[in-house]
Structure 1
């Protein structure tokens, strides 16, 4: 088991190093292909563009780690956008209360997802696909299919907030803080260890006394909350409550997590890998813009990356299974030989 665990850890390190190499290579190529790439303005723009995707992808990582998936995050972004603005503009509520209520809607969706998966044994794919349609429909119904404006003054103030002499948008350190907290939770806390245990083997986790169902529900809540926070950030950035922002973003979010080493089978992955996946995808989108390539090629690139990452994940899973089988057989053989030697000694 120790050999298998060491092998898996080594594979994940190699995968992270591979992502770093890919990011560096793409950066070098773009530095020659475009004079604008290495400018401070463009590099900050890449980081700024990564923030929303990073926040939502981190939440998605929690769900995939427990063996689930959340396809509703794009629609949750749209729903949170129209609610956060609409509750102020249409409902006349204070902006603070509108944000709290929007966050509670995200919690409600997350709890519903978790309960449907754990209590009704529904596949996460089907549950969140239904929520994708539901949240998108609610966003259109509430907004009438139109952008809701103007955004509250608080949102405009955040949009204009800068750090370090007006050179760094406040979203960048905000996303870094979320990433650091998420890394600490997964890597250093008992809750994080339970996340990996449930994703690795749900039955074994239950036998070990881990409340697997509760962990799965919390993971879905984290994902929905992350999507809502991403929706609030996108609303601030676009300065309107829109029923279409974030729609389709779920594929990019899943791609970022998977190419970062988060296994679709659960139990493997980390925040660092997800962030590297986010940066790689954002750099690719930036390259497409700088090189004046038709924007639909961005989707082609994302699709190819998802297919490649999924193929590598399946290969890794099969390799781990074969290694486990060989180790089990070797352990059994050694045990049998040991028993025979004991019997022979007693007979002598």
Structure 2
């Protein structure tokens, strides 16, 4: 007798849990609701100029956030990214203006400086077993202090014409900065999802001991993750200089909190081993829309810092809840579904065996 519980139709009509829907599409739903609400509160919000500005600023943050995501995936954290942005900004502009270096060379030095900070962070974290929080807090102070000493606290202007042109260029009405950020995001996605290095990133963050026992050189993976973070922070510094039209020692102030919030909101676990580039982009976009809404609604200054702090706490809470409650529940549901699919197959095998025996007896 057929069991209706395990019929093909019942399997197709099995309800999807609210938790599963929110886990997959919750962030996108929040963004869409926010867009609808703000379009009613501000006539300026739903305009091409405003959306271009939102995506432009989000692109600057996204580049740095993607680097931060690599570090969080291996179970680390990089608080120095905002200060590295400032170092990159002042070096790229200052070396060209003060020493007459070609733009390409000053940009190269800025990128190498960011990469060096990333290497130092990774090396000290892995080889001396110092907490990444402590190491990057120290390099944050060093980098920010260097930027202010180099500039004397003043902005360096004008920027090289090549940087200015890059900051203002557009293709089919889309700023090149946005296109560049999307290219970096695509490359990061391919690296994490299609390469052995990407799989090693997730393995090291998910279970460092198991990764080491399986032959993965965990220390090297962690160092490379920090190097990527430092390099992309330096790229972000160049992009911000192109937007501001100056090299600034205060560039990137507080950016480390923003990118951490964006990455965690996007689903990357603070414990490592879990996260996707698309989620990070959505997290950046959400924070960008929040910042834009604060500006359009004329909310008092520095409220965005409070919002970022609240968002980080909430995101951390959601991350803990997801790991301790939601993910085990979804895993149990998946096992139940697998069992439900396997049961009718077993029944069919039994019926086939009985028929075979009947034919043999005849």
Coarse TM-score class (shorter-chain normalised): 0.7 to 0.9
Report the 3-state secondary structure (helix = DSSP H, G, I; strand = E; otherwise coil) of the residue aligned with 1:181. Answer: helix
* Structure 2 Cα separation of the partners of residues 276 and 11 of structure 1: 19
* Structure 1 Cα separation of the partners of residues 95 and 122 of structure 2: 27
Aligned with 1:54 (options 55, 62, 78)? 62
Q: Which has the larger radius of gyration?
A: 2
Aligned with 2:200 (options 183, 189, 194)? 194
Please give the per-residue CA displacement for 1:50-76, whole angstroms capped at 9, x wherever unaligned. Answer: 011000000000000000000000100
Where do 1:122-201 residues align within 5 Å?
122-164=130-172, 167-201=173-207
1:257 aligned onto 2:260: no
**What stretches of structure 1 of length at least 5 have no aligned partner?**
1-9, 327-348
* Structure 1 Cα separation of the partners of residues 181 and 57 of structure 2: 11
How far the C-alpha of 1:323 sits from its partner, in A, is 7.4
1:307 aligned onto 2:318: no
Aligned with 1:70 (options 50, 70, 78)? 78
1:266 aligned onto 2:266: no
Match of 1:211 in 2: 217
* Structure 1 Cα separation of the partners of residues 157 and 328 of structure 2: 57
* Structure 2 Cα separation of the partners of residues 66 and 162 of structure 1: 36
Report the 3-state secondary structure (helix = DSSP H, G, I; strand = E; otherwise coil) of the residue aligned with 2:315. Answer: helix
CA distance change for structure 1 residues 72 and 94 in 2, over 3 Å: closer, same or farther? Answer: same
* Structure 2 Cα separation of the partners of residues 109 and 289 of structure 1: 33
1:82 aligned onto 2:90: yes
Report the 3-state secondary structure (helix = DSSP H, G, I; strand = E; otherwise coil) of the residue aligned with 2:216. Answer: coil
* Structure 1 Cα separation of the partners of residues 326 and 208 of structure 2: 17
* Structure 2 Cα separation of the partners of residues 202 and 103 of structure 1: 30
Kept after mapping to 1: 8 A contact 2:103/2:160? yes
Aligned with 1:293 (options 299, 303, 324)? 299
* Structure 1 Cα separation of the partners of residues 258 and 197 of structure 2: 27
* Structure 2 Cα separation of the partners of residues 316 and 276 of structure 1: 18
Aligned-residue Cα RMSD (Å) equals: 2.0
Kept after mapping to 2: 8 A contact 1:198/1:205? yes
Match of 2:244 in 1: 238
* Structure 2 Cα separation of the partners of residues 34 and 97 of structure 1: 45
How far the C-alpha of 1:320 sits from its partner, in A, is 7.6
* Structure 2 Cα separation of the partners of residues 168 and 217 of structure 1: 35
CA distance change for structure 1 residues 184 and 46 in 2, over 3 Å: closer, same or farther? Answer: same
How far the C-alpha of 1:99 sits from its partner, in A, is 0.8
Could you tell me the TM-score, scaled by structure 2's length?
Answer: 0.84
* Structure 1 Cα separation of the partners of residues 167 and 118 of structure 2: 28
Please give the per-residue CA displacement for 1:146-190, whole angstroms capped at 9, x wherever unaligned. Answer: 1111111111211221211xx221101110100111011111111
**What stretches of structure 2 of length at least 5 have no aligned partner?**
1-17, 333-362
> What number of residue pairs does the alignment pair up?
316
Report the 3-state secondary structure (helix = DSSP H, G, I; strand = E; otherwise coil) of the residue aligned with 2:225. Answer: helix
How far the C-alpha of 1:322 sits from its partner, in A, is 6.9
Please give the per-residue CA displacement for 1:291-316, whole angstroms capped at 9, x wherever unaligned. Answer: 11113221222111111110111222
Match of 1:279 in 2: 285
Report the 3-state secondary structure (helix = DSSP H, G, I; strand = E; otherwise coil) of the residue aligned with 1:68. Answer: coil
Could you tell me the TM-score, scaled by structure 1's length?
Answer: 0.87
Report the 3-state secondary structure (helix = DSSP H, G, I; strand = E; otherwise coil) of the residue aligned with 2:233. Answer: helix
CA distance change for structure 1 residues 301 and 237 in 2, over 3 Å: closer, same or farther? Answer: same
Kept after mapping to 1: 8 A contact 2:84/2:140? yes
Kept after mapping to 2: 8 A contact 1:51/1:175? yes
CA distance change for structure 1 residues 109 and 136 in 2, over 3 Å: closer, same or farther? Answer: same
Kept after mapping to 2: 8 A contact 1:16/1:260? no
1:43 aligned onto 2:51: yes
